[in-house]
């Protein structure tokens, strides 16, 4: 799927349609202090084997696309609801 790098959409801070830069969202590293990560470290630590079975098969063919729209005038960022796409590429406007 091809998506333009700059789109014109509504900015809630400017209260009008303005050009927005489109950025693809990136995953942050997981915090070691979160409860799920602490539980995972406790379960996998020590001399025992891995506590859960290894996943079989391959990864999903379709990934969720998360975009961020940054207003060019006020720099306000809006992150709309993502959708699934097998391939995603930001392209220049034609």
Q: Give tens-digit pLDDT for 56-77.
A: 887 778 889 999 999 999 999 9
Who has greater pLDDT, 50 or 70? Answer: 70
Measured in whole angstroms, the distance separating CA 45 from the mean position of its chain's CA atoms is: 30
Q: Which of 30, 26, 29, 25 is nearest to 80 (CA)?
A: 25
Decide: helix, strand or coil at residue 78: strand
Rounded to two decimals, the pTM is 0.71
DSSP state of 1: -
Mean pLDDT of 10-21: 97
- Domains of the chain, CATH where assigned: 1-29+60-94 (3.10.450.80)
């Amino acid at each position: 799927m091809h998506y333009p790098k700059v789109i014109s959409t509504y900015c809630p801070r400017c209260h009008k349609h303005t050009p927005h830069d489109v950025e693809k969202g990136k995953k942050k590293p997981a915090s070691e202090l979160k409860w799920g990560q602490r539980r995972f470290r406790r379960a996998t630590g020590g001399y025992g084997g891995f506590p859960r079975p290894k996943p079989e098969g391959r990864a999903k063919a379709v990934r969720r696309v998360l975009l961020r729209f940054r207003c060019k005038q006020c720099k306000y960022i809006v992150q709309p609801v993502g959708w699934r796409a097998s391939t995603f590429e930001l392209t220049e406007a034609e």
